[in-house]
């Protein structure tokens, strides 16, 4: 199984556009554009999940929806609480095991996303990955997914993904 871990795109700050709570922060216009380009880049590289799970926060749901649209509109999409800030990686593994997916994607937030990625990796060093907004990491599990059972296939920042799509730097 391949697991794509994605950080949400660039969002408005609390206080902008009438946003009062962090939960309600939506993607900015630039965030939508750059996230869409990053998703097209992922598709250009031949990476398409057959399942998507996302944090319930607005910016993450929007990011997941953009990836779904750009990659494959038929991909099942689920809101999963374990991808919200403070979520538990053990719940990620339970969710993955409960689906018959060859490639799954989850959309979440920093710093949790970096620690979830680290938790997946076998013989990982203790360096925390820095996910820029709309960055994607791919972890490969040869058997069933679980803590320490994965291998980092690649880690692409959004600029690289946009370049693959022929988009702006």
Q: Where are the domains of the chain?
A: 2-164
Q: What is the pLDDT along the chain (169 residues), one digit of tens a residue?
A: 999 999 999 999 999 999 999 999 999 999 999 999 999 999 999 999 999 999 999 999 999 999 999 998 789 899 999 999 999 999 999 999 999 899 999 999 999 999 999 999 876 555 578 999 999 999 999 888 999 999 999 999 999 999 999 855 5
Phi, psi of 116 (to 5 degrees): -65, -45
pLDDT of amino acid 127: 59
If DSSP states are collapsed to H, E and C, what string results for 48-102? CCCEEEECCCHHHHHHHHHHHHHHCCCCCEEECHHHCCCCCHHHHHHHHHCCCCC
At residue 123, the pLDDT reads 61
pTM over 0.85: yes
The CATH T-level fold of domain 2-164 is Rossmann fold (3.40.50)
In terms of Cβ atoms closer than 10 Å to its own Cβ (0-12, 13-18, 19+), residue 79 is: middle
| pLDDT score recorded for residue 126 | 58
Q: Are 155 and 129 in contact (CB under 8 A)?
A: yes
Dihedral over Cα of 69, 71, 157, 115: its sign: positive
How far is residue 132's CA from residue 34's CA, in Å, rounded to a whole number?
12
């Amino acid at each position: 199984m391949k697991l794509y871990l994605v950080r949400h795109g660039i969002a408005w700050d609390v206080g902008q556009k009438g946003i009062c709570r962090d939960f309600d922060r939506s993607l900015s216009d630039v965030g939508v554009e750059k996230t869409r380009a990053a998703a097209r880049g992922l598709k250009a590289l031949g990476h398409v999940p057959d399942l998507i799970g996302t944090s319930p926060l607005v910016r993450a749901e929007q990011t997941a929806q953009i990836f779904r649209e750009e990659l494959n509109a038929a991909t099942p999409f689920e809101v999963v609480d374990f991808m919200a800030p403070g979520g538990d990686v053990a719940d990620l593994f339970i969710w993955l095991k409960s689906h018959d997916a060859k490639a799954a994607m989850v959309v979440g937030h920093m710093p949790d996303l970096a620690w979830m990625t680290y938790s997946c990796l076998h013989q990982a060093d203790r360096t925390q990955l820095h996910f820029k907004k709309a960055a994607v990491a791919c972890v490969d599990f040869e058997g069933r997914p679980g803590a320490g059972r994965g291998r980092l296939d690649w880690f692409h920042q959004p600029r690289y993904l946009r370049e693959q799509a022929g988009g702006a730097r």
